[in-house]
Amino acid sequence: MSGRFVYWMNVSVDLRIEQTPGEQGGGDWMRIGESLHREFNARARALSLMVQGRTVYETMEAFWPAARDDDSLPGFLREYGEIWTSMPKVLVTRTRTSAGHNTQVIRAPDATAALADLRARTDGDIGVGGATLATALLRAGLLDELMLFTHPVILGSGRPLFDAHDEPLQLDLLEQARFDEGVTLHRYAVRNTPA
Give every strand in the sheet of 143-151, ordered side by side.
103-107, 89-93, 49-53, 124-129, 3-12, 143-151, 184-190, 171-178
Q: What's the pTM value of the predicted model, to 2 decimals?
A: 0.92
31-73 pLDDT, tens digit per residue, is: 999 999 999 999 999 999 999 999 899 989 999 999 999 999 9
145-185 pLDDT, tens digit per residue, is: 999 999 999 999 999 999 887 788 899 999 999 998 899 99
In the chain, what are the domains? 3-190 (3.40.430.10)
Residue 164 has phi, psi (to 5 degrees) of -50, 130
Predicted confidence at residue 1, as pLDDT, reads 64
Predicted confidence at residue 110, as pLDDT, reads 78
* Amino acid identity, position 180: D
76-119 pLDDT, tens digit per residue, is: 999 999 999 999 999 999 999 999 999 999 987 779 999 999 99
Which residues are CB-neighbours of 189 under 8 A, at least 6 positions away?
144, 145, 171, 172, 174
